[in-house]
Amino acid sequence: MTYRDTQKVLVTGGAGFLGSHLCDRLVDAGADVLCLDNLYTGTKKNVAHLHDRTNFEFVRHDVTMPLYVEIDRIFNLACPASPIHYQYDPVQTTKTSVHGAINMLGLAKRLRARILQASTSEVYGDPEVHPQKEEYWGRVNPIGIRSCYDEGKRCAETLFFDYRRQHNLEIKVVRIFNTYGPRMNPHDGRVVSNFIVQALKGEDITIYGDGSQTRSFCYVDDLIEAMLRMMDTRADFTGPVNIGNPGEFTMLELAEKILSLVGSTSKIVYQPLPQDDPRQRQPDISLAKSELDWQPKVSLEDGLKETISYFKRLLQA
């Protein structure tokens, strides 16, 4: 993947966990990158190493407000993605997904720019189908504590496809399953960062429920590669496409693997399962394999080693 120096690419949520890794790849590929973030969950530290690059620019801006720039492509990643962050201000979370999508789609329409939406496996809710295919409509509680994120992302997908039908906009939609790696926020409440930080500090490992619920974990480098490939697909291919690692692990298996890799003496403790927490989550990535020629390469153990090293450095700083 290479970009001309004149090709301008906007990344909303660019100072976040995923956005900063995407900015890295785009800058290295030669794109002129405009990184947009209101720093609600993102941090300037995630992109500080890019500030000396002539083809990188950071702008502090909230996507719920209109934006007037000249760009060729848009990656729309802006939205808090962990339950702790998106439930802290649920109204703002919904606004970010819905108003943010409207503003970015309006910008793309004016400029005839191609735009990619970073959607989520949360659109499937607590699924009755396993693994989840893109054709599955989902089972989401519209009035629960997770609804601000789940329904916000579902509405954003609706807007993307309506802009496609009504304005013939070039859209791309990916549904991101659990992703982990360096630059995760240590306090975001996600299971991988929670377990690693607790293990490194020698604290109890907190498992919600009985630990039998499953997730699939995709390393960040694999995910970013899939997003870039999706953006470069033919104009008539819109998605949505599941992006994730189909390897399925229980929470107990994950905790035990992290304890082993860290060499921690932390004990596992159990807490009640949060409301509407999905019991199973696993992507069917057949479409990504056929259309993107993509499948994850990084094993859970190798990815966890990199992530543990990152958190060790962070906690020692």
Active-site positions?
149
Dist CA 10 CA 194 (whole Å): 31
Report whether 98 contacts 159 (CB < 8 A). Answer: yes
Residue 154 has which token pair? 């579902």
Pairing of strands 205-208, 171-176: unpaired
Closest among 48, 64, 50, 52 to 12, alpha carbons compared? 64
Report whether 116 contacts 75 (CB < 8 A). Answer: yes
Q: Where are the beta strands (DSSP E) in 23-140?
A: 32-37, 56-60, 73-76, 114-120
Question: Quick check: helix, strand or coil at residue 55?
Answer: coil
Which helix (H) or strand (E) segment holds residue 292: the answer is helix 286-292
